[in-house]
């Protein structure tokens, strides 16, 4: 629950470092990055979950010059950081588990 504290450019830098860590040093097996963070989904979020997520969005904007993101926005960040595949599991109340694969 870290990336929502950062703007897009810093998220990309953080994720590039993560990708290098799991892909580097001749690691042929690969690996994955696990993220637990908010994914705004206006079509599927229940009203109370949407409100919580949008309140967090306001806090992130005013406190950290950051924001909560929807799946398309996350996908852009993952792609720019060099990840090929991701999976999102919305199992943690207002947070989701995200797996990234190089």
Give the catalytic positions in this structure.
Answer: 4
Beta strands in 1-102 (DSSP E): 33-37, 39-40, 69-70, 85-92, 95-101
On the 0-12 / 13-18 / 19+ scale of CB atoms within 10 A, 49 is: middle
Yes or no: say if 37 and 100 are a contact pair by the CB < 8 Å rule: no
d(CA 14, CA 78): 11
């Amino acid at each position: 629950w870290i990336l929502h504290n950062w703007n897009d450019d810093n998220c990309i830098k953080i994720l590039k470092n993560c990708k290098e860590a799991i892909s580097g040093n001749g690691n042929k097996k690969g690996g994955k990055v696990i993220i637990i963070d908010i994914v705004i989904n206006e079509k599927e979020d229940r009203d109370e979950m949407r409100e919580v997520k949008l309140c967090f969005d306001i806090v992130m904007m005013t406190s950290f010059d950051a924001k909560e993101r929807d799946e398309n926005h996350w996908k852009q960040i993952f792609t720019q950081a060099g990840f090929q595949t991701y999976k999102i599991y919305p199992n943690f109340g207002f947070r989701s588990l995200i797996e990234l694969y190089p």
